[in-house]
Amino acid sequence: MMKSKLEYIWLDGSVPTQQLRAKTRVAENFSGNLEDCPVWSFDGSSTNQAGGGASDLLLKPVFICPDPDRKNAYLVLTEVLNPDGTPHETNGRAHIEEEDEDFWFGYEQEYFLYDPQTRLPLGFPAGGFPEPQGPYYCGVGGSKAFGRQIVEEHFDICLEAGLNVEGINAEVAAGQWEFQIFAKGAHNAGDQIWMARFLLERTAEKYGVDVEWHPKPLGKELDWNGSGMHANFSNGLMRTCGDEKVFNAICEEFGKNIKEHIDVYGAYNDQRLTGKHETAAITDFSYGVSDRGASIRIPVGTVEDGWKGRLEDRRPASNGDPYKIGARIIKTVHAAKI
Q: 3-91 and 104-335 share one CATH topology? A: no
What ranges do the domains of the chain cover? Answer: 3-91, 104-335
Distance CA 209, CA 117 (A): 9
Alpha carbon of residue 218 to chain centroid:
20
Judged against a pLDDT cut of 70, whether residue 313 lies above it is answered with yes
Cis ω before 16 (30° cut-off from 0)? yes
Flag the least confident range among 98-112, 159-173, 300-314.
98-112
Distance CA 136, CA 122 (A): 12
Mean pLDDT across the stretch 23-31?
A: 97
Strands 296-298 and 311-313: antiparallel
Distance CA 326, CA 163 (A): 18
193: buried, middle or exposed (CB in 10 Å: 19+, 13-18, 0-12)?
buried
- 130 within 8 A of 263, measured Cβ to Cβ: no
**3-91: in CATH 3.10.20.70:** yes
Per the DSSP assignment, residues forming a β-bridge with 78 are 61
pLDDT at 221: 75
pLDDT at 253: 98
Q: Tens digit of pLDDT for each residue in 82-112?
A: 999 999 999 999 989 876 789 999 999 999 9
CA dihedral 111, 90, 269, 261 (to 10 degrees): 120
Distance CA 212, CA 72 (A): 30
Q: Which CATH architecture has domain 104-335?
A: 2-Layer Sandwich (3.30)
pLDDT at 99: 66
Q: Tens digit of pLDDT for each residue in 198-254?
A: 999 999 999 999 999 999 999 877 789 999 999 999 999 999 999 999 999 999 999
pTM: predicted TM-score of the whole model, two decimal places = 0.96
